[in-house]
Structure 1
């Protein structure tokens, strides 16, 4: 989600606690639309990252430094001239706007005390960093906005700074119940949309959260609620706004498995079925959330070439498999021609020359059949012709039976690699998958290049009862876990009938509790091709009953004596070690 007014309010509270009264020690501009301020306060040093990037505007405290260009851009030089060594007097947010003002006190060239305001606007593609004097006149901005770019407001040196009111929205911190009813609950829109379209700084996520806390349907029209429901909604909304006013923030990140799903400055009760992690500061939330998002995005981009190779091979093999199945189906009538040949040999002795058909009793089914004949051939030649058709179809059936089995195995192998790509979270994971594709001929190995050394390791979880559980990320790891790491009495889990990870639970000779069986099964369900299903069937068996077929692809096994359970895919409550 984007930064909404509530997240900005949480940031302002954090900045006031850490930066107010601090001295601006360094000013850098690492990117064209980004500032990095180093501020010393309370004998501590803080770095404030401010990005006005159109795709991802951000502002938060960070411990990381970033390299800057050798020659500072003009905007950076201007700030250094005016506010280097300046003191931050005040940090505030107007209403619940996505705007932060920094009032800075400094000495000018003549030694006179002056005040300036650095304004950060976090407004999507319209985000900007604007530097103003104490008369609200714009000195400069990191982005210049002329009349040809915006008919609402120019952001140019010498212009007066003001907050653009492109929409008549209400301030959620001051709105009365009467006004709330008039503006929000009269709109013929879904309730959640009416909330964020009417109130400043309320994001779609927070609008959904308000509806959830009020136990009201977010997609029901806002003008359809009863008087009692309207009162309950306003009181729910007011309690949430009181937390904002009082600075009662709980910075959190919601995870879907290992992937960050949402972040918020307030608790999100609508994600009770997901794993939620709380942080000490909203800056830590933003830094962690976007770092993980960037990592996942980068891995997905890096994996796109591998995914394209897998998808191309899958499409080719699926088409081949469909054709082979159709051809195999055509051979099902082969027995008919064998029977025809036998019946012609049995009853053809009294056929008249030039006969075009033979009606005879099929002694296999005890039914009369009509056998078409070639009137230019003798009965013996017609029988031989049918036997030849039978033998040809039989040979085709035998060849296709082998080919379809091989093609299906190749499809299964490619689908398992595709699932591994979905699981991959690091460069090392992709290296191992690429090596598998190379080993099996989908990628050509360059020159005399040797097999690469892989440092990727399986996922490691610990059950509620203290048992260690390991999850393979790809076929090589599945093979390693099952046949080299696990011992006979360890338990093995896998999603039934679909590609997925091998899950090994180390027993150390102890009997597993039911809860550990269920948690291991949920891991197998989550790390499978069917992870988006509500329930997945899982097979589980002691490792000693799992066998490797000679010549089979890595990670492909057989087992005959097993147990099964149907279970969900949520693993948010299972403790992960690595």
Structure 2
């Protein structure tokens, strides 16, 4: 599920329960569009991830340790200067949209109290994290000029303006007001009308409300009854009620990766396996951790398969060429017979002749042998023997190359099979290291730092009921 208004609503409640009156102890920027704040209250430290990633923008508590750059980026240094030891006085959602504001009471260089706002806008590729003082932008993790947005600039010194909001806040509307708004689109499907009319609704949550109200997928606004309108309004308020426990993950049958997360059990996933987490943040973090791991796995598997397919294509072409060369070399072995026949018939051959017609005693038939008229018959025989010896040496080399090429093809096909069968990124790392070690892949030209030594792959050890030890290994 996208990080919609419902998720923001519940994550804000979770943040408020834990962070109000806490102080900002540390600020890190592990990625160009991600921040990690460490808050401290009552001797308890809690880390919060702020992400303006265009793929997975989000905000939640985090327990994952992220690697920070040796030199902090400029925006991170500014935040440290302005917000370190600042007191969180309020956290709120703007309307029912995906915008969160943190009110922070801090001190300036003269130790005067100053009120700052840290604004998190979770809006896909337009996501941003903005520091504001007295409604003036101090800076942001993404600077937006007029070339990128004609509606508003997000630059230091510019007044802060909310992103354009063209939807209504259903949390502040009565059932009749809601009905009036969506009734203006009588031919539109109910779920799409809810999604396009009200803040914070993803398409999935629009479908969820409809399913809870027993409204068919194909139903249009004009088909709704009074009871349906009342139910939509009521279910919306049910979904935003405060919850004691946090979040849920939803899995397809026999699948280890969650397909979605939500702050509550969803009817649209009634046929899925659900896993309850202690907090919504835990559910969100596990979902994106698995999603990132799955994406990394797919990217690595795809890159390895592409490299191996390229190698295989070369080897298949090489194999065909070698087979053609082998056929030619085998035909060239007849040059020895030509030499033997010429030497056996030297007495009857004419000088400066372009061909010799002799009896082939190997196959008991007449044969015509091409000759170089500038050379004597004995020199022609000598040249045929040289061609024969050259072809014989070439045949030995070709057969050796054929053997190596076939072995390499078998190896690459077995590696492809291993990639197809594995579902663990550690196995892909082992395969990659093996390909680099055998010079089939180039080593990445990155940092000159000493590479971490890869742990030696060891077989799995199993014990049978009768006490025997089984070792299960893998190779290509």
- Range of TM-score over shorter length: 0.5 to 0.7
Which residue does the alignment assign to 1:446? 438
**Per-residue displacement from partner, 1:208-261 (whole Å, max 9, x unpaired)?**
11121112222433x231324xx2354244234234143466411111211210
Contact 1:428 1:456 in 2 (8 A): no
SS across alignment from 2:150: coil
Larger Rg: 1 or 2?
2
Matched, 1:284 2:282: yes
Q: Cα 1:36–1:172, aligned 2, differ >3 Å: closer, same or farther? A: same
Which residue does the alignment assign to 1:146? 145
Cα offset, 1:125, TM superposition: 0.7
C-alpha separation in 2, matches of 1:313 and 1:157: 54
Which residue does the alignment assign to 1:55? 55
Which residue does the alignment assign to 2:195? 196
Which residue does the alignment assign to 1:406? none
C-alpha separation in 2, matches of 1:311 and 1:180: 59
Which residue does the alignment assign to 1:425? 423
Cα offset, 1:456, TM superposition: 7.9
C-alpha separation in 2, matches of 1:485 and 1:233: 64
C-alpha separation in 2, matches of 1:39 and 1:220: 48
Q: Cα 1:83–1:254, aligned 2, differ >3 Å: closer, same or farther? A: same
SS across alignment from 1:170: coil
Contact 1:250 1:267 in 2 (8 A): no
Runs of 5+ unmatched residues, structure 1: 318-413, 461-483, 487-553, 555-578
Matched, 1:118 2:118: yes
The match for 2:179 among 171, 178, 181 is 181
C-alpha separation in 1, matches of 2:106 and 2:28: 18
Q: Cα 1:220–1:250, aligned 2, differ >3 Å: closer, same or farther? A: farther
TM-score (norm 2): 0.66
C-alpha separation in 2, matches of 1:74 and 1:433: 39
Cα offset, 1:113, TM superposition: 1.8
Q: Cα 1:485–1:65, aligned 2, differ >3 Å: closer, same or farther? A: closer
Which residue does the alignment assign to 1:89? 89
Which residue does the alignment assign to 2:45? 45
Which residue does the alignment assign to 1:206? 205
Matched, 1:241 2:234: no
Cα offset, 1:2, TM superposition: 2.2
Q: Cα 1:300–1:242, aligned 2, differ >3 Å: closer, same or farther? A: same
Which residue does the alignment assign to 2:263? 265
C-alpha separation in 1, matches of 2:223 and 2:68: 55
Contact 2:10 2:242 in 1 (8 A): no
Which residue does the alignment assign to 1:71? 71
Answer 1 or 2: higher relative contact order, Cα 8 Å, separation at least 6: 2
C-alpha separation in 2, matches of 1:78 and 1:153: 22
SS across alignment from 2:115: strand
**Per-residue displacement from partner, 1:274-330 (whole Å, max 9, x unpaired)?**
11111111111121111111111111122224545589989x99xxxxxxxxxxxxx
**Per-residue displacement from partner, 1:318-364 (whole Å, max 9, x unpaired)?**
xxxxxxxxxxxxxxxxxxxxxxxxxxxxxxxxxxxxxxxxxxxxxxx
Q: Cα 1:23–1:455, aligned 2, differ >3 Å: closer, same or farther? A: same
**Per-residue displacement from partner, 1:392-420 (whole Å, max 9, x unpaired)?**
xxxxxxxxxxxxxxxxxxxxxx89976x7
Which residue does the alignment assign to 2:5? 5
C-alpha separation in 2, matches of 1:243 and 1:444: 53
Cα offset, 1:446, TM superposition: 3.4
**Per-residue displacement from partner, 1:26-64 (whole Å, max 9, x unpaired)?**
122222222111111121111111111222212111123
**Per-residue displacement from partner, 1:458-492 (whole Å, max 9, x unpaired)?**
9x9xxxxxxxxxxxxxxxxxxxxxxx799xxxxxx
Q: Cα 1:457–1:266, aligned 2, differ >3 Å: closer, same or farther? A: farther
C-alpha separation in 2, matches of 1:266 and 1:73: 37
Q: What is the 5 A alignment of 1:227-376?
A: 227-228=225-226, 231-247=227-243, 250-256=246-252, 257-305=255-303, 307-308=305-306
Cα offset, 1:454, TM superposition: 5.1
Cα offset, 1:142, TM superposition: 1.4
SS across alignment from 1:303: helix
TM-score (norm 1): 0.55
Contact 1:33 1:52 in 2 (8 A): yes
Matched, 1:129 2:118: no
Once superposed, what is the RMSD of the aligned Cα atoms?
Answer: 3.6
- Residue-pair matches, total: 354
C-alpha separation in 2, matches of 1:269 and 1:422: 35
Runs of 5+ unmatched residues, structure 2: 317-412, 440-454, 463-469
C-alpha separation in 1, matches of 2:414 and 2:209: 41
Q: Cα 1:141–1:305, aligned 2, differ >3 Å: closer, same or farther? A: closer
C-alpha separation in 2, matches of 1:433 and 1:114: 55
C-alpha separation in 2, matches of 1:416 and 1:209: 44
Matched, 1:16 2:16: yes
Contact 2:215 2:228 in 1 (8 A): no
